[in-house]
Amino acid sequence: MFERVAKVIEEIRPFLQRDGGDVELVEVTADNIVNVRLKGACGSCPGALMTLKGGIERALKEKIPEVASVERVD
Along the chain (74 residues), what's the average pLDDT of each consecutive run of 10 residues? 97 90 95 94 79 90 97 91
Give the integer Cα–Cα distance in Å for 65 and 49: 20
Beta bridge partners of 5: none
DSSP H/E element including 41: helix 41-44
Among 69, 19, 12, 8, which Cα is nearest to 43's? 19
Structure confidence at residue 47 (pLDDT):
80
Structure confidence at residue 71 (pLDDT):
95
Structure confidence at residue 44 (pLDDT):
76
- Provide the domain count of the chain: 1
The domain spanning residue 52 has which CATH number?
Answer: 3.30.300.130
Domain that holds residue 43: 2-72
- Strands in the chain per DSSP E: 21-28, 33-40, 69-72
Structure confidence at residue 56 (pLDDT):
93
